[in-house]
Structure 1
Amino acid sequence: MTNTLSVSIGGGLACTEADKYLQRFILAKEFHSEWFYPGIEVKSFFDSFPGLIWNGGRVMEGMAESLSIAECKKKVEFFNQRNIGVYFTFTNNLLTEEHLPNTVCNQVLKAFESPLNAVIVCSKLLENYIRSSYPQYKIIYSVTHVTYDKAILLKAAKEYDLVVIPPEWNRDLALLSCFPAEKVEIMLCEPCIPYCPNRKEHYRATDKANLGYTVDPEASPHKCKYKALFPGELMKDLSLAEMLTIFTETGIRHFKLSNRALDLPRRIEHISRYFVRKEYAEVFTIYMTDA
């Protein structure tokens, strides 16, 4: 078993400044390796391109029709050439048969089909289509299933390349130890309350928006009434020390940094927290912001 912790980071494919700076982060690791903790690698980036109807997790502004596959290739190849995977967040769970032939979504999957890359799914319909049409991709069981049934997740660990575990279980080492260590991924952060009653509704609202449907603004995860009612009960981010404890006690080494909705300063802070030695935190922040 390797002693390296493996982290998947949100972003890298969208057009925001925060996403553009993730390439700068990778270059920092290449040219200033002394800034970073040893034994913590960037395994992949999970994201998608704007405007794709298969997207889930968040609403990405933009028109799919304006996507240039050539421009998309520049982004994906930057990571793939460094043996970093790109995991497409195609977690829309409201798809029907009529959505599967979507031209742009299929162009994207065809362009980047590789065992290095993956698709994160929630829809069984889309999952079966991808397994049949693009078999080289790894398939990842998304946390957007919103299930806390251990039996279901154990079964998924046998069927999928990776299963994202509910963040509410992060500190239950006995429960985490029930899973095959190499098949599960732990979320480092989740900006909601534990067992939020509206979590599935939030994901479905995002799915509707990505399909172009009108969505009740109050269904947005940013307006969750439970977050407002219980502001002191938001889930606490895992610390680097807790990551190491999880690895030591359970063997789990795959972690997921869910920070796609954050602005650039907060994303830099998150990356610094998990990757950068404390004595280099200031110089790293200057490097990341002084483009």
Structure 2
Amino acid sequence: MQKPFTITFSKAPKNACIHTDKTAYYHLPGLFEFYELYRIFLPLFREHREYFYDWCEIGSIYGAPADCLWGGGRVGYGDCDPEDVRELMDEYGISARLTFSNSLLCEEHLADKRCNELCRLFEKNGKAENGVIVHSDLLLDYLKKQYPGFYFVSSTTKVLTDFEELVKETDREDFRYVVPDFRLNKAWDKWETLTQSQRDKVEFLCNECCSFGCKDRRKCYETVSRKNLGEDCPEHECTASDVMGGYRFSKAMTNPGFIGINDIKETYLPMGFSHFKIEGRSLGSALVLEFLLYYMTKPEYQLHVREAVYLDNMLDLF
């Protein structure tokens, strides 16, 4: 049974200020789903760096192909050729992360041919080290033995709302990064207690739209895990009062856990936090582009980026 949680916000640290020598690393969604978008965006990011904030970089792009047995957080939609994906990431020196966050894996699932083939392909050394986002310790132990070339990320699907549990997770040597539940995002008094080495491992989920008071988040993730395992189970029915209308970025911005660019520049970076995850694997490339514009692109150049992407007929606007 999931423990009830209570989160109390404190005021942001008074000494927060802009430190221009700090860099924010964004971890972007849709490694397989949005290949065509990144095929256009990444050259822009490299060749027209003046379009983008100089205080941010791309830390990784994460995702899993459609119907991936080890998948968990969201049902995969990408059907792009993994070889093409890997080549694109290698070309631009960007870390690729496989999202293998299924929480219900058993021993017999570890032999899955497709998932192991993906690991063999992406473990190969390129210009950037690749990683795996995991929930299951069973899978983690298997991957550490079979594919030691990966680094590992503790998934937000663990729903770590208890701060002490989160601290223990950051202290695990298995993980390079840990993604806490978004409801801890503004618990400033707690974040200030971490050492710098612990802060270096925290990766905040910025733009979650889920109801802040939701008590069924773990059940929702478990339903996705069951579906990826091929189980015949009912859809999870969200009971939040504001569930109608699906994901809206404008709605996410009103969430108490939302992290905007001013929060990143003026509070998180000065506090020594550098890693920020952007949600959006199942939302469509047009909306993901809006995330790239908001979080990475200077306002005066956002139209330039939109035009470059929209004029490519591969972008799915519907």
Alignment of 1:1-291 (within 5 A): 3-14=22-33, 18-61=34-77, 71-113=81-123, 114=125, 116-159=129-172, 160-179=175-194, 180-217=198-235, 219=236, 223-228=237-242, 234-235=255-256, 237-291=258-312
1:227 to partner: Cα distance? 4.4
1:195 to partner: Cα distance? 3.9
- Show CA shifts across 1:165-206 (max 9, x none): 221122222222233221110111111011411101110110
Change (3 A) 1:112 1:287: same
Change (3 A) 1:81 1:229: closer
Task: Tell me if the contact between 2:72 and 2:228 (Cα under 8 Å) persists in the aligned partners.
Answer: yes
Task: Tell me if the contact between 1:193 and 1:230 (Cα under 8 Å) persists in the aligned partners.
Answer: no
TM-score with structure 2 setting the length: 0.81
Task: Give the structure, 1 or 2, with the largest relative contact order (CA under 8 Å, sep 6 or more).
Answer: 2
Task: Tell me if the contact between 1:192 and 1:227 (Cα under 8 Å) persists in the aligned partners.
Answer: no
SS of corresponding position for 1:183: coil
Q: Which runs of 5+ in 2 are unaligned?
A: 1-18, 246-250, 313-318
Change (3 A) 1:101 1:229: closer
1:245 to partner: Cα distance? 2.4
Structure 2 CA distance for aligned equivalents of residues 288 and 229 of structure 1? 30
Structure 2 CA distance for aligned equivalents of residues 91 and 138 of structure 1? 14
1:80 to partner: Cα distance? 2.5
- Give the helix-richer structure, 1 or 2: 1
1:229 to partner: Cα distance? 6.8
1:31 to partner: Cα distance? 1.9
1:142 to partner: Cα distance? 0.6
Q: Which one is further off, 281-290 or 270-279? A: 281-290
| Equivalent residue letter for 2:211 | I
Task: Tell me if the contact between 1:8 and 1:45 (Cα under 8 Å) persists in the aligned partners.
Answer: yes
Question: What is the root-mean-square deviation of aligned Cα atoms in Å?
Answer: 2.2
1:265 to partner: Cα distance? 2.3
1:243 to partner: Cα distance? 0.8
- Show CA shifts across 1:6-37 (max 9, x none): 110011213xxx44212211111112222111
| Equivalent residue letter for 1:53 | L
TM-score with structure 1 setting the length: 0.88
| Equivalent residue letter for 2:290 | E
